[in-house]
Amino acid sequence: MSDMKYYIPTSSHGGMMVAAKFEDAYVKVSDHEQAVAKLTDEVHKLERLCDATYVQQGADAYDYACALIEQLQGERIANGREPGTQGSLCDGLAWAYGELMKAEDEMTRLRAEADSLRKDAKRYRWLRDNGDTAPIFDDTIGVTFLTPDGLDGFDVLDEAIDAAMGADA
């Protein structure tokens, strides 16, 4: 505490008391500064340790992802399918993403097809349950359905059935 400079009043006996309190406060601050410095060092050590832990965890996650891709490739080969990518994890993820996009496109196509088939099934049930149209057999065409207006053709028939179904509702 030799480099600390402070004023001690000489005219009052209370000045010594103030100086002693000031010196106590200075010692406490100094102790706190040392404690903060120690804590700062500990924080830096923990940060280095955490960084090393995260790097290891990242490496473990990378190894696990690679193992999963290899497992998937093995399953695909066992099922007689092409294995997919044979490169890095990023290549594997890019390939898997591409396969996912193909699957989504196929699902979209299949949903549209299912919607169309539902409409056709609904029309069939309506025709089956309502005797408003009759099949006419023809040697060259097979079965032709005529609408009440005498029109034939599947698109026209679909439109006529849809209109009739709407009138029933």
Per-residue pLDDT, 5: 52
Separation between Cα atoms, residue 163 and residue 157, nearest integer Å: 10
Which pLDDT does position 39 carry in this prediction? 83
For the entire predicted model, the pTM comes to 0.39
Residue 156's alpha-carbon distances to 117, 120, 147, 159, 167, in angstroms, are 17, 13, 8, 5, 16
Query: What is the model's pLDDT at position 154?
Result: 65
Measured CA distances, 91 to 66, 72, 88, 95, 164 (Å)? 11, 14, 5, 6, 55
The torsion region of residue 150 among left (phi > 0), alpha (psi -120 to 50) and beta comes to left
Which amino acid is present at 102? K
Tokens representing residue 88 in the block: 């890095």
Q: How far apart are CA 52 and CA 75, in angstroms?
A: 35
Under-70 pLDDT residues of the chain: 1-22, 87, 131-154, 168-169
Q: What is the pLDDT of residue 118?
A: 93
pLDDT recorded at residue 151: 56
